[in-house]
Amino acid sequence: MTKEVQLRRGTTAQVFAFTGQVGELTPDTGLKRLVLHDGVTAGGKAIDAARGWIDGLGLANNATAPTTDIDIGRGQARDSTNATIMELTAKLTKMANVAWAAGNNNGGLFNTGFIGVAARYHVFLIEKDSDGSIDVGFDTSQLAPNRPAGYTRYRRIGSIQTDGSGVVMGFVQHGDLFLWTSVPALDVNDAALGTTRKTYSLAHVPAGVEAVALLNVYTAGALVFVSHVEAADQSPSITAAPLLTAGNVAGVSRATMAAHFMVKTNTSGQITARADASPSTLRVAVVGWIDQRGRNA
């Protein structure tokens, strides 16, 4: 014979104000989680997924309307404040070029007006305060300030971009890795890089958040060291640290290319580079990026 066991339980507010016995577990029926008590602390400690948790929620260009619509796969993520877990239980499709409206196959643009040209948007999972329903939308800010009223909780789950015609650029996602399906025009084409370090802003990485850019790099005429902006200003070398990212060895006419070289970008999408001779040519194409999608925020 089975027995049904029920624990002392309550809404989120009730559990938050409750001081349970040492080792007591109380279900929070609002956030659907267990809280462990220590006999002294009101609200105890939630037993929940790890801080910053995200699983699934993969993004893809919609097969039928790849230049305007984004598919969002089912999955879970903690919200930006780590207060709760939001779950998208079925795939959603949202139109990036239409003002946001709740539900599948509806608009997803939080910002007013039309979708931008050569613009970068962040993709957010949002939760409606009144009924807990989950939706998705697009905002130019990494903090989703333009999300609809009544949706307090949000989580950034990725980024998309439009090209010079205002259509959504093609990409594929594998976890935190995003790759352009067609590598866009050069982000950097500099024929005057010298022995003084230069900072370059990249266009084809997310804006407003740090990421790891995956780059193809070409140089002619020198050794070049490409690095993140916080790195020490070191000169490239073929014998000593930091060595080089790409370069020509003296007397050899070929240029060297480094495929899928990785470098961290700052929140302004910037990297730095320095050559050992002036002038030198540096060309950089962004192949893709790695995005923590709100973890460690």
Partner 1 sequence: MTRYVERDGQGRITGAYAVRQPGRAEEALADDDVELAAFETPAVPLNPVDARLAADPAVAGLVRALAKRFAVSPATLIDEIKAETR
Binding residues vs partner 1 (CB under 8 A): 118, 163-164, 184-192, 198-204, 252-254, 269, 279
Between residues 15 and 202, which has the closer beta carbon with respect to partner 1? 202
Between residues 12 and 162, which has the closer beta carbon with respect to partner 1? 162
- Smallest distance, partner 1 to C-beta of residue 168, A: 15
Between residues 23 and 164, which has the closer beta carbon with respect to partner 1? 164
- Smallest distance, partner 1 to C-beta of residue 275, A: 13
- Smallest distance, partner 1 to C-beta of residue 270, A: 9
Between residues 27 and 184, which has the closer beta carbon with respect to partner 1? 184
- Smallest distance, partner 1 to C-beta of residue 155, A: 27
- Smallest distance, partner 1 to C-beta of residue 222, A: 15
Between residues 132 and 279, which has the closer beta carbon with respect to partner 1? 279
Nearest to 41 by CA among 56, 57, 60, 22: 22
- Smallest distance, partner 1 to C-beta of residue 242, A: 23
Residues 6 or more apart in contact with residue 154 via CB below 8 angstroms? 79, 80, 124, 125, 126, 127, 144, 147
Nearest to 286 by CA among 269, 268, 266: 269
Between residues 95 and 160, which has the closer beta carbon with respect to partner 1? 160
